[in-house]
Structures are given as C-alpha cells and as structure tokens.
Amino acid sequence: MARKSTTTRGILVVLNNFLHDLATGTWVAANAFQWGVLRWRHGGHGPVDPETAAGLRAVRTAGRVSLLWIVGGGVVRALTFRRYEWSDAAGRGQLGLLGVKHMLLFGAVAAGRRLERQVAAAQEPERGTESRG
C-alpha cells in the first residue's frame, strides 16, 4: 500500500510542477500581450475602447490566476524539490541557479505590477469625456 501512495504522491508532484511551469508561461504571455496591446492599440494616450478594455480585463484575470498558481505551486515545488527534482550531477550549484531564476522572476513580477497599473489607467475614461445621461 505504501508503494501506491508514494507513486500517487510522485504523480501529483510532477503534475503540480507541470502546472507551475504552465502558469509561469501563461503569466509571462498575459503580461506580454497586455504590454503589446497597450503599445499597439492604445499608443500610451487616452483610454482604450470598451472592447479592448474587456479583453485586457480577461487577460489580466488569467494572469492573476496564473500568478496565484505560481506562488502556491511553487511552495509545493520547493518543499518537494530535493526528492523529485534534485540533480546529483549539478549538485549544490543548482541552488545558485534557482536563486538567480527567482530573482529574475521577482523582477518580472514587479514589472508586471507596474504594467497592471498602466492597463488600469488605460481603461479609465478621460475626465470630462464620459457620456452623460
């Protein structure tokens, strides 16, 4: 019975790690998409049209859900790293690489938060141009 439990746990850890990586890619793509839309469609001036704003909200939601999985799944990944991902060939050197990777990710998260503020600002109607009714 212990063997089946260990196998199931291993499969769940691998699935978590896969989803963690997928969430990271989704989060990066969502931010790249939002940045591209702001530069191409918005041009950095004035509010975006309602359809673009709706699309940006949907992509931002997907990005936020992905970021939650990155953090939650990352905790599981960190707790199970030595057992399921540790490479004897890389030894302790892989810890430094993981540190660099996470510093880059934290920088990307900070840039993503800044982008979210820009997206939110682009979705607000300019003062004095709201429809009155």
pLDDT in tens, 45-100: 667 788 888 888 999 999 999 999 999 999 999 999 888 887 777 778 888 888 89
Q: What does the domain layout of the chain look like in residue ranges?
A: 2-123
Note the pTM of the prediction, 2 decimals: 0.77
Closest CA to 62 of 18, 98, 12, 112: 112
What pLDDT is recorded for position 52? 84
Report the percentage of the chain scoring pLDDT > 90. Answer: 40
Question: CB burial class (10 A; 0-12, 13-18, 19+) of residue 127?
Answer: exposed
Cβ atoms of 42 and 48 closer than 8 Å: yes
